[in-house]
Every structure is written in C-alpha cells, then in structure tokens.
Amino acid sequence: MPRVPILSRAELAEADRDIYDDYERVRGVQPSVIHRAIANAPDILRAYMPISNALRFETRLDARLRELAIVMVGHLTGSAYEVEAHARFAIKAGVPQAQLDQLPEFASSPVYGDRERAVLRYAAEVTRRNQVSSGVLAALQAEFDQEEITELALQVGFYNTVVRILGAFAIQPERRS
Amino acid sequence: MTESPGSRSAEARNLATVGEDLDGPLFSAMAEAPRLARAYFEFGAGLIKSCGLDPALRELAIAMTLAACGAQSMARRHLALAGSLGADAAKIERLQDFEDEPGFAEPEKAVLRFARESALGVSVSAEIYGGLQDWFDVRSQAAIALLVAYYAGLAHIAVPLGAEP
C-alpha cells in the first residue's frame, strides 16, 4: 500500500486541477499512480511534468532504445512498477518480447544488436555503480551521435530519480484488467 | 539554437537555484541536448523553490544524497551552500556521522537517514520512512522524497558524463 495518498482530480485544490487536465491532454490517459502520489505536493508535480513529458515526447533517441534503457533501470533497482509500466511502452514502441525477457542476460543474448547492447550496458553500469567504463562509452560513440548519448544519459539519470520516488512511496505495479 | 538574453538569464537563475552554473561542467556536459537540460534544471529549480524544508537542512540532505551517489565535488558545493545558509560548522563537518553528532535534532536526522537510504538503496524501509512521517506532513514527505530523488538522478547524469571531477 502506498505511503502517501494517491490523489484523484477531485481531491486536488481547484487551482491545481489543471495539472491533471494538461496531463490527459498531452498523454491521452489519466495520471498514473506515481504522478497522483507526487500530487501531494502539487507545485512540485507542476515542476516535474515538463521534463517528464520532454523525455517521453521530445527526444531523437529511438523510442525502443529509450524504453529498453528504462526497463533496465527498473530491473536492476527492483522496481516492479517501472518494469511493468515501461515494458508496456516498450512493446508499444516495437521492442520484441524476447528483448524484454532476456534483459538479465543482455550481455550475451543473441536477441540484441550492437545498438541495443550499447544502450543496455550504459544503463546497467550507471544504475549499478554510477560509473561508465571506457569500453561502454566507446561502444556508444560508435553507434550514436553526441546528442543521442546526452539524451540517453538524461533518460537514465531521470529514471534513477523515478525509481527512488517509487521506492520512497512504496508504490507497486498498477493492476490492469 | 538561438537564445535571447532573457532566456539565458532565466537559465542561469535556474542553474544557480539548484547549485550549478552556466559555465560549470554539468551544464556543459548536457549542452548537446539543450531543451532537455533546460527542462531538467527547471524541474530542479521548481523543486528547490517549493520544497519548504529549512534551507540549511535542505542543502545538507542534498550533500548527503550526492555523496552517497559518488558525486563528491557536487556534494562539497552543497555543503558550502549549507554553511552560507546557516548550517553549523559541526553539522557540516560531521554530516556523514550525523547519528553521533548531538547538534542534529531528531527531524534533521530523520531527513538525513531517509536521504542516505534512498540514494544508496532506492527502496526505503518502513522504519526509515516512518521517521519522516513522525516529523513531517504528507506534503513535506513528498517534497523531501522528490528532492532526494532529483539529486540522486542528477548525480547519475553528472558522474558518467564526466562532469564530476
């Protein structure tokens, strides 16, 4: 059970309901549990949404690679919510189910190409020990330009933020019928 | 990207609010993705402005988070900020040993325990989170959790991008 209330639109002050309205307009769905938890500090949710939306909708990095990196962050930090939520996004973006299933063996599994493996190695090293070896950087530089690498770094950093929010609030996966 | 002097100064203000600057290594490292960098620091500035935590304690919690994530030079900058905002020298010097430092009050210890566990462990035990619940209302708990999570994320950008000497 989450440690903070999961607020509905009706539970927000009237002056803050536009945050949820904007969310639905931009994303086409109702706010998810993590955002409804952050809404306990509505001014902070207001500051949070632009970067969250920018990382989702305004990057050049291939969405399949972005989602693989995010699922890897969730997998390595034991964040079931993050894994479930972004596995759905990954499938929607075109990631084969086999690439999600074999994340624990990404270093040796034949289901990944060089680009996927370079992204996953970066996400794994940063999340595990917040360091990147020269080999991992070289593999990224061989496949991506500097803008894409910077975007990847921001995605991995941001989702290391997200898993800590989930961990603090003890938020579990959203069950969908 | 063409930028007006006004947007440049707004950017500088956001960076200063989160303890960075336009000429610093972190912003330079993010320069290849300027729109994202701007949004990232706007989030941080918004968080700092509406966090509600005592500013000196806020900076100590940030320093604890950054140090736990291996961003030592950023941590030192925030310790200096804590000092400029009124944190006692003993608290700054003994931050990593806060449990044994009598100058720290219980609510401060609750924040620092939370910051260390969240930064290092990602998940936070019921006991540690309960310490926050003992002293802070739900809004403040959310603000503290987001503050620590933001700086942990920032450390996970700065260190791998080589912006943490």
Burial class from Cβ neighbours inside 10 Å (0-12, 13-18, 19+) for residue A122 reads buried
Does B159 sit within 8 Å of A130, measured CB to CB?
yes
- The mean predicted confidence, pLDDT, of chain B is 92
Instruction: Note the pLDDT tens digit of each residue in B43-99.
Output: 999 999 999 999 999 999 999 999 999 999 999 999 999 999 999 999 999 999 999
Whether B105 and chain A come into contact, CB under 8 Å, resolves to no
B143 and B88 fall within a common domain: yes
Give the domain range for residue B153: 55-158
Number of domains in chain B: 2
Instruction: Note the pLDDT tens digit of each residue in A58-108.
Output: 999 999 999 999 999 999 999 999 999 999 999 999 999 999 999 999 999
Please report which confidence band the pLDDT of residue B3 belongs to, taking 50, 70 and 90 as the band edges.
low
Domain membership of residue B165 (yes or no) is: no
Taking only Cα atoms into account, the Rg of chain B, rounded to an integer number of angstroms, comes to: 16
- Chain A residues touching B138 at Cβ < 8 A: 4-5, 40
Does A154 sit within 8 Å of B40, measured CB to CB?
yes
Whether the Cβ atoms of residue B49 and residue B55 lie closer than 8 Å to each other: no
Residues in B 47-76 with any Cβ partner in A closer than 8 A: 47, 50-51, 69-70
Please report which confidence band the pLDDT of residue A18 belongs to, taking 50, 70 and 90 as the band edges.
very high
Domain membership of residue B163 (yes or no) is: no
Does A44 sit within 8 Å of B47, measured CB to CB?
yes
CATH number of the domain residue B138 falls in: 1.20.1290.10
* Cα separations in angstroms, A66 against A47, A87, A116, A122, B73: 22, 11, 10, 12, 29
CA of B28 vs chain A CAs: smallest distance (Å): 11
B67 and B87 fall within a common domain: yes
Instruction: Note the pLDDT tens digit of each residue in B100-115.
Output: 999 999 999 999 999 9
B65 and B131 fall within a common domain: yes
| Number of separate helices (H) and strands (E) present in chain B | 9, 0
Does B30 sit within 8 Å of A154, measured CB to CB?
yes
The domain segmentation of chain A, as residue ranges, is 9-57, 63-166
Q: Map tokens 């609510």 to a residue.
A: B107
Whether B98 and chain A come into contact, CB under 8 Å, resolves to no
Which of A41, A48, A151 lies nearest to residue B36, judging by beta carbons? A151
Residues in A 96-125 with any Cβ partner in B closer than 8 A: 122, 125
Name the architecture of domain A63-166. Up-down Bundle (1.20)
Taking only Cα atoms into account, the Rg of chain A, rounded to an integer number of angstroms, comes to: 17
3-state secondary structure of B149: helix
3-state secondary structure of A131: coil
Q: Cα A63 vs. chain centroid, distance in angstroms?
A: 11
